Structure 1
Amino acid sequence: MLRRSAAISAAALLCLAGAAGTAEAGSTSLYAPSAVVLSIGKGTDSGALTVLRATTLSCMPGPSGTHPAPEAACAELKAGFAGGGFEGLLASPNPDRACPQHFDPVTVTLDGVWEGTRTSWQYTFSNACVMGVTLNGGEAFAF
């Protein structure tokens, strides 16, 4: 009877040790996390912005989230992230496409964690047309 109890106790300890090892392994990763919330809103100040649309995007360990094209959006953010900021998402406006000159500000925001570091980025365009021709690629904010 004592041998049976010892065998059961040893099996229970191995099971608990395995569960603890799994929990520890799950908390460490080979890649720094990249998960953000992207939004498009009316206005110029992110504090008083009227959010029109928003989506979640996780790029590490793999593309996912509520974004309709997570793979393309992650690739665009990765390419646009230069020198610690997302200014690489902006391109010179296409000279072949004219936009109206009215002022109806639209602000895009990106908040979350990128490559393991807390990040927050925003950019205001004079109107939605200018936003469409200035965003390089446009996949990240196409939702």
Structure 2
Amino acid sequence: MITHLPAALLSALLLAAPTAGAAPTAGPALTMGGVPTAGATPTVGSAPAPATALRLTVTGPAPATTAPTPEGAAPAAPASRTVTLRCDPAGGDHPRAEAACADLDASQGRVDRDSDIACVLLYDPVEVRAEGVWRGRPVSFAREYGNSCELGARTGAVFSF
């Protein structure tokens, strides 16, 4: 029986495949790990691609000094900034929306990616968070980077605000 499994699987795939000249049917895009595979389209016809809307937050870098003030008070907490990024078309209140959307498209929606950029080994932590959807796929990302250089090298223009 196991020797017939590949033939049976091939037959099932051939029966399920559309015949020549048949009209395509709408359905979900082919995905691998949540990312569309090469040649897959999110919709059939002229329907728009799923929306991208992300709420991006950057906290830090920390104050230049961590020593308490003469009155004994701790330094102020790092400043937090939040913007909204929309893509297709690029918009929101992100000051570099087009570049940020291009970086997300190039990495297929991954916020963090490998980089060959060398940064100074200065510890001045920056925390970031991204929440929302990228092309209809949920995004929930949070990470601390050692400094602003590392943040820019690993995320491109996404958190450049």
Q: Which of the five TM-score ranges fits, normalised by the shorter chain? A: 0.5 to 0.7
Deviations 1:103-143 (A, max 9, x none): x32122211011112211122211223323x225x222111
Shift of 1:33: 1.0
| CA–CA distance in structure 2, aligned partners of residues 92 and 30 of structure 1 | 32
Q: Which has the higher contact order (CA 8 A, sep 6+)?
A: 1
How many residues align structurally? Answer: 100
Aligned-residue CA RMSD (Å):
2.5
Q: Secondary structure at the match of 2:92?
A: coil
Deviations 1:46-105 (A, max 9, x none): xxx966211111113x111101121111111111236xxx15x4333523xx41433x32
2:107 to 71, 80, 83: 80
Q: Structure 1 length normalisation: TM-score?
A: 0.58
Match of 1:116 in 2: 136
Q: How does 1:121-136 map to 2 (within 5 A)?
A: 121-132=141-152, 134-135=153-154
1:101 to 96, 118, 122: 122
The answer to whether 1:34 aligns with 2:57 is: no
**Structure with greater helix percent:** 1
Using a 3 Å threshold, how does the CA distance of structure 1 residues 123 and 112 change in structure 2: closer, same or farther?
same
Q: Secondary structure at the match of 1:135?
A: helix
Using a 3 Å threshold, how does the CA distance of structure 1 residues 39 and 93 change in structure 2: closer, same or farther?
farther
Match of 2:160 in 1: 142
Match of 1:21 in 2: none
Deviations 1:19-55 (A, max 9, x none): xxxxxxxxxx532111111111148xxxxx9662111
| CA–CA distance in structure 1, aligned partners of residues 117 and 139 of structure 2 | 28
Q: Which stretches in structure 2 are left out of the alignment for 5+ residues?
A: 1-46, 62-76
Letter in 1 for 2:53: A
Runs ≥4 in structure 1, deviation > 6 angstroms? none
Letter in 2 for 1:90: R
Q: Which stretches in structure 1 are left out of the alignment for 5+ residues?
A: 1-28, 44-48
> Is the 1:42–1:50 Cα contact (8 Å) retained in structure 2?
yes
